[in-house]
Structure 1
């Protein structure tokens, strides 16, 4: 079915037109992460009513507005100018205008600019109103099937530099809870290799190009990730969200004291993976239980 911009705007007005829209308010508007059909009617209505739209990238924002049949004054507000550009937005708010802020995709201020603007607007006494919608982190969690996790820790992109990156990844693997990571295509294979080395048995859900034509969702043990990516060149293309599944609770009493002592001694001298393998061989204790106990002790 073809829906024209005018029909979409009419539907948005019918759905949200009766709501209150206070003057001088900042609207933090979530936008689609790939599939344009995922925009909400409320988001369409707010963008239509706004006096101006602040954008992480005005080219991306203008394209979205054209798709909706809208033409609005645009303010560039991105990671490199957020402090200065926020003052421009605040001046508009002080004049009684309504301003919408959109990042390039998804929910602003979640691994995207927007937090500085929100903090400054709130500090100046302006209403800050969320308009919820797409979020790649939540979208990935919804299809991960993580039956152990209760809540999650949002990590986003790991640092790009070697030492900082290793430390950040080690911190993730030391957490027993669910972790959500973002990754770029040129680093996905390195991340997969690091996960396979550091936590081979941990479950990982890899989401590629969420909501787009070539969307891929695959869940496996971390040890399988490098081979899975290498099997098809297309699997390393696009943008990635990874869900590192939570670890099951470990009952240390289920392991013999001698096995725990052996593990402790080996962990002092050896990398985690090697220590677990040797402890399992020496003690005869289940490798999975030893591995989870080792993660808990290293964390």
Structure 2
């Protein structure tokens, strides 16, 4: 095995997705750095891999990285794996990669499963341009603010979400993006109880809220971007519309702003519907 740090993708559920190269690399390296050694030990045992194993995650101290550096300095090889999927995709490790590259060591990818790419491949939404946002903030206010920043994004949006927050997140998305925005729920991908379901945010919120089984496991949400034909409103116009809509019906608020700005009343009204879910 050549000296270097190997970034090895592992299955996200189905062990049959482990590549032969991944098994070969993990069997041949001098040290395996895993996000959770207890979780990864089961995978390694399945493939009869008993190489030295250590923990490496966001809370690891300097000694963990020093052990990796020492192995490479002695001409050895190290593999980095996460709990599942491709390391560094919403996982720890980018600082390690940067540091090892800065020291002149080769960093080699061993590609394979990724929940993001798997969800995109079956979502039935445009994938020529997408934006991966990872996990949204847990606090409702901060989450709403981040979604508001994404409200006008044209690219398809991809999120991870924890099962205990999925209902709240779909509700927040419906409020900000509008209940008619398309979304795909990809849950437990490659596992026994896999779910891939597309609908509007309103439909998916009802589906998930009424089925406790859909509030379990690993979840990816793929949300359609804002249609490019929709009008773009500047921040001042958006603020004025939202403020008037607090005091007046949406149609009346839209008519007043249209009269003042020359913008089309229909476009202003559609904007209010998308942010209020009226």
Q: TM-score range by the shorter chain?
A: 0.7 to 0.9
Q: Does 1:37 align with 2:12?
A: no
Task: Map 1:279-298 to 2 at 5 A.
Answer: 279=254, 291=270
- Among 42, 54, 61, which residue is 1:63 paired with? 42
Distance in 2 of aligned mates of 1:267 and 1:293: 7
Extract unaligned runs of 5+ from structure 2: 259-263
Distance in 1 of aligned mates of 2:267 and 2:24: 52
Structure 1 length normalisation: TM-score? Answer: 0.79
Task: Map 1:232-271 to 2 at 5 A.
Answer: 232-250=211-229, 252=231, 266-270=241-245
CA RMSD of superposed structures (Å) = 2.9
Q: Does 1:152 align with 2:130?
A: yes
Task: Map 1:55-134 to 2 at 5 A.
Answer: 55-81=34-60, 83-134=62-113
- Among 196, 199, 210, which residue is 1:217 paired with? 196
Q: Which residue of 2 aligns with 1:229?
A: 208
Structure 2 length normalisation: TM-score? Answer: 0.84
Q: 1:106·1:135 contact (CA, 8 Å) conserved in 2?
A: yes
Q: 2:175·2:274 contact (CA, 8 Å) conserved in 1?
A: no
Distance in 1 of aligned mates of 2:226 and 2:142: 24
Deviation at 1:270, TM superposition (A): 2.8
Q: Which residue of 2 aligns with 1:190?
A: 168
Q: 1:29·1:130 contact (CA, 8 Å) conserved in 2?
A: yes
Distance change in 2, residues 1:53/1:276 (3 Å): farther
Where 2:164 maps in the other structure, the secondary structure is helix
Q: 1:154·1:180 contact (CA, 8 Å) conserved in 2?
A: yes
Distance in 2 of aligned mates of 1:56 and 1:157: 18
Deviation at 1:22, TM superposition (A): 2.1
Where 2:87 maps in the other structure, the secondary structure is coil
